[in-house]
Chains A and B, each alone.
Chain A
Amino acid sequence: MSAPGASEKEVWPLWEVFVRSSRGISHTHVGSLHAPDATLAVRNARDLYTRRNEGVSIWVVPAEAITTSDPDAKGAFFESPAGKNYRHASYYVKSEGVKHL
Chain B
Amino acid sequence: MSTPSRTDAVTDVVTDVVTDAAGGVVTDAATHAPDRGHDHGENEGHGHVEVDGVELSAELVEGPSVASHDVAEYALWLGDDSLVLAQQLGWWISRAPELEEDIALGNIALDLIGHARSLLHYSGAESDRTEDDLAYWRTEPEFRSAHLFEQPNGDFAHTIARQFIAANYLFELYSRLAGSADATLAAIAAKAVKEVDYHRDHAAQWVLRLALGTEESRARMICGLGDLWPFLDELFVDEPLIDRLEGVAVRPSTLRGPAWDAMAPVLREAGLDEPRGFISSGGGRRGDHSENLGPLLAEMQVLARSHPGASW
Task: Give A contacts to B, CB under 8 Å.
Answer: 4-6, 11-12, 14, 19, 21, 25, 28-37, 39-40, 43-44, 47-48, 51-52, 54, 63, 66, 68-71, 74
B304 touches A (CB below 8 Å): no
B257 touches A (CB below 8 Å): no
Q: Is the CB of A40 within 8 A of B205?
A: yes
B residues near A29, Cβ cutoff 8 Å: 44-45
Task: Give B contacts to A, CB under 8 Å.
Answer: 19, 22-23, 26-27, 29-30, 32-37, 44-47, 49, 54, 98-101, 103-104, 107, 201-202, 205, 209
How close is B58's CB to chain A, nearest CB, in angstroms? 14
Given contacts A21-B47, A28-B45, A33-B100, contact A71 B209 (CB under 8 A): no
Q: Is the CB of B19 within 8 A of A51?
A: yes
Q: Is the CB of A39 within 8 A of B205?
A: yes
Q: Is the CB of B32 within 8 A of A33?
A: no
Q: Is the CB of A44 within 8 A of B100?
A: yes
Residue of B nearest to A35 (CB): B100
Q: Is the CB of B100 within 8 A of A34?
A: yes
Residue of A nearest to B99 (CB): A34
B residues near A47, Cβ cutoff 8 Å: 100, 103-104, 107
A23-B46 Cα distance, complex, nearest whole Å: 14
B residues near A69, Cβ cutoff 8 Å: 34-37
A52-B107 Cα distance, complex, nearest whole Å: 12
How close is A98's CB to chain B, nearest CB, in angstroms? 33
Given contacts A66-B36, A68-B37, A69-B35, contact A44 B104 (CB under 8 A): yes
A66-B100 Cα distance, complex, nearest whole Å: 22
Q: Which of A12, A44, A52, A68 contacts B36 (CB 8 A)?
A: A68
Task: Please indicate which of the listed interface residues A6, A40, A69 has the most CB atoms of chain B within 10 Å of its own CB.
Answer: A40
A residues near B49, Cβ cutoff 8 Å: 52, 54
A residues near B37, Cβ cutoff 8 Å: 68-69
A residues near B205, Cβ cutoff 8 Å: 39-40, 43
A74-B37 Cα distance, complex, nearest whole Å: 9
How close is A13's CB to chain B, nearest CB, in angstroms? 12
Residue of A nearest to B23 (CB): A31
Q: Is the CB of B26 within 8 A of A32?
A: yes
Q: Is the CB of A48 within 8 A of B32?
A: no
B residues near A51, Cβ cutoff 8 Å: 19, 107
Name 9 extra pairs, CB < 8 A, besides A28-B45, A30-B46, A66-B36.
A4-B32, A6-B29, A12-B98, A31-B45, A44-B100, A48-B19, A52-B49, A71-B34, A71-B35
